Amino acid sequence: MLFSKLAEYFEQLDHTTSRNTLVAILADLYSQCDQSEVRPITYLLQGRLAPFFKPIEIGMGINYVADAIGKAFGVDRKHVMQVFDRVGDIGTAARQVQQEAGKELSMEETPTVLEIFNQLMAISQVSGQGSIEKKIGMFADILQKLDPRSVTYICRIPVGTLRLGVGDPTILDALSFAKSGDKSLRKPLERAYNETSDLGLIAETLWKDGIEGVEKLSIMPGNPVRPALAERLPTPEAIINRMGQCAVEKKYDGFRCQVHKIGNEVKIFSRNLEDMTGMFPEITSGTLAMVDAETAIFEGEALAYHPLSGEFLPFQVTTKRRRKHKIEEAAQELPLKLFAFDILYKNGENLMGMKYVDRREILANTIKGEDSLIVSDWVIADNVEKLMEVFNEAIESGLEGIVAKRLDSPYQAGARNFNWVKLKRTHAGQLQDTVDCVIVGYIYGRGKRAQLGAGALLVAVYNPDKDTFQTITKIGTGLTDEEWKEVVERCKPYVTEEKPARVESIIQPSVWVEPAVVIEVLADEITRSPVHTAGMNGEKQGYALRFPRLVSFRESDKRPEDATTVQEIIEMYQQQAIKQVAS
């Protein structure tokens, strides 16, 4: 397939908002692929050269891409940036500069997808002295071989603004349609993706070995497993009534880490599948010293603590450990302890299908001693009093609350269900939980707010069934002047002139923002709303958060698709109604 043909499909996706149409376009694209192309094309659809957990990046920001555009078409960076400032998109700017220079190529003259992909991969591997100049030259060489449409889309890849409006669920549906004509393959494809986190591998295996080959794919050390997630229930009574006898763990508010030990190598992945190994040297050394296994995959929560008092510090402090420079100094100032709570794999054996209690026993026999790694405590409770005893201990220790787990539950990768249920600390006399939202726009405001750049945020929750982000509230209070400035700065790389394809909104903000920045929001209650699209269905009103306040930024450990789902909002609304009747 010529790269120009792929760019045609990119353009179709870019101008489509209907999910069914997106799936149809992708299915048609995949039907044109041969076995050698399907894997790289899948990564390119994700705006990547490799799975999210592999730190393979082209390594060129806006300025360097602008340098390459200038070098390719005979102008300087200043002119490219002037066009970019005017149009607001580096791809569109590149296309205009190419057209101004009269260096347009026809679609038939462009290289193949594999040739372009391999050249991009070669750029990502350039390092050392003079690497930036070499990258710029190599990228300029690519641009000189491409037609205007292809130039537009390839320039967006290095800066993370491909914005095709498709998420992983949409791609999984398209793979199923391409091979079977319907969604019948979606479930096994999704299971394999949850356990390997490599969408390109899934696609290639489907082409090479069929769905039978995909069904053989499973958990493997080195590939992060998409984490199991907890549901919510409003009260301790509701937990006991639903689960009966259950295990109760304290809920830590830190970095959720999945640790992979492969011989003498350690890999540490975040909740959103990012490789964080280099950031946490104490967890790496602790794993090598304390884990009695040749290969193992286990999960835990990493918290910063005060080395003198032993006091655990809040997430806002813990997050300061997320850095790429002066890591050893940071480890001395803010050391981490990892509280391990589950094990998924040991010495070649997949443990995910085993009962929770059996996995816990294996975990206790795998981590020897207590230092930077600690096996978290758990208590079996069969009544409200016992559950509340653990809950109160957690709150007194400055922790978030508890997680209750079914004793016989398997580990279900990527699933959010009632095998695990969380209960958080009290707020205003009631047990409440925060909501993870995604910023999809902001409104300028008036007076002082206008000077700060934003006066209200339009935020959304995630609908995995539709692979869209549906608005749930506007946030206009509770932020300091500095926080408003920080919001604008964080959103700047994702600002777009048109409503993003994956956003469903009735409200028109001053500025649209691609779903990327995740925030934690606390609100008084959930209400029905005629203006917000979360849960809206025909004439049925949507849901909204009442009196929302921004608690923290969470995009460092959560992808947009990790945000609270619409179904969770509906369940929280129903639980809220039950509590109000009971009171």
- Which residues belong to the annotated binding site for ATP? 249, 256, 271, 301, 341, 416, 422
Which tokens is 10 given?
Answer: 């990119």
Same domain, residue pair 257 and 386: yes
Same domain, residue pair 105 and 122: yes
Which tokens is 58 given?
Answer: 């082209």
Q: Does a structural domain hold residue 523?
A: yes
CA distance 81 to 138: 20
Do 567 and 583 form a contact (C-beta atoms < 8 A)?
A: no
| Residue 251 annotated in active site | yes
Nearest to 41 by CA among 113, 111, 92, 89: 113
Instruction: Find where tokens 């919510």 sit.
Output: 232
Q: Does a structural domain hold residue 399?
A: yes
Dmax (CA) of the chain: 77
Q: CATH number for the domain including 318?
A: 3.30.470.30
Query: Between β-strands 246-251 and 401-406, what pairing exists: parallel, antiparallel or unpaired?
Result: antiparallel
| Sheet (strand 229-232) strand order | 229-232, 416-424, 401-406, 246-251, 378-381
CA distance 523 to 474: 11
C-alpha count within 13 angstroms, C-beta hemisphere, residue 562: 22
Across the strands, what pairs with 565? 462
Query: Which residues does 71 contact at the CB level (< 8 Å), separation at least 6?
Result: 136, 137, 140
Same domain, residue pair 288 and 422: yes
Same domain, residue pair 574 and 500: yes
Q: Does a structural domain hold residue 156?
A: yes
Give the DSSP H or E segment for 378. strand 378-381
Same domain, residue pair 207 and 240: no
Q: Of the residues 431, 449, 479, which one is the last residue of a structural domain?
A: 431
pLDDT at 272: 87
Helix (H, G, I), strand (E, B) or coil at 472: strand
Query: Between β-strands 495-496 and 511-513, what pairing exists: parallel, antiparallel or unpaired?
Result: antiparallel
Same domain, residue pair 418 and 534: no
Which tokens is 297 given?
Answer: 């995959």
The angle, 0 to 180 degrees and rounded to 10, between the axes of the packed helices 186-196 and 199-216 is 110
CA distance 442 to 510: 6
Nearest to 114 by CA among 56, 37, 28, 38: 37
Nearest to 339 by CA among 239, 251, 439: 251
Same domain, residue pair 365 and 446: no
Q: Does a structural domain hold residue 180?
A: yes
CA distance 159 to 494: 10
pLDDT at 446: 60
Nearest to 511 by CA among 495, 488, 492, 487: 495
Q: Of the residues 401, 431, 461, which one is the last residue of a structural domain?
A: 431
pLDDT at 541: 93
Q: Does a structural domain hold residue 398?
A: yes
Give the DSSP H or E segment for 248. strand 246-251
Same domain, residue pair 195 and 266: no
Q: CATH number for the domain including 474?
A: 2.40.50.140
For 23-31, which contacts have Cβ atoms below 8 Å and span 24 or more sequence positions?
Answer: 23/170, 23/173, 23/174, 23/177, 24/177, 26/166, 26/170, 26/171, 26/173, 26/174, 26/177, 26/178, 27/174, 27/175, 27/177, 27/178, 28/178, 29/174, 30/174, 30/175, 30/178, 30/203, 31/178
pLDDT at 480: 80
CA distance 485 to 25: 39
Same domain, residue pair 245 and 378: yes
Parent domain of 209: 1-218
pLDDT along the chain (583 residues), means of 10: 96 89 96 95 95 92 95 94 91 94 75 96 94 96 95 94 88 96 96 97 98 96 95 88 95 90 96 89 94 97 73 69 70 82 97 97 94 93 94 83 96 93 63 82 70 82 93 86 85 87 93 92 89 91 90 82 92 73 46
CA distance 252 to 239: 19
Q: Does a structural domain hold residue 190?
A: yes
Same domain, residue pair 181 and 325: no
Residue 571 carries which side chain, given as an amino acid letter?
E
CA distance 534 to 525: 15
Q: Does a structural domain hold residue 224?
A: no
Same domain, residue pair 265 and 374: yes
pLDDT at 433: 73
Q: Does a structural domain hold residue 223?
A: no
CA distance 249 to 257: 16
Q: Of the residues 409, 431, 453, which one is the last residue of a structural domain?
A: 431
CA distance 213 to 211: 5
Which tokens is 303 given?
Answer: 């918290």
Which tokens is 337 given?
Answer: 């302890």
**How many domains does the chain divide into?**
3
- Which residues belong to the annotated binding site? 249, 256, 271, 301, 341, 416, 422
Same domain, residue pair 112 and 156: yes
Q: CATH number for the domain including 42?
A: 1.10.3260.10
Torsion of CA 142, 146, 152, 155, to 10 degrees: 0
Q: Select which of 71, 250, 251, 261 is catalytic.
A: 251
Q: Count the neighbouring beta carbons within 10 Å of the beta carbon of residue 306.
A: 12
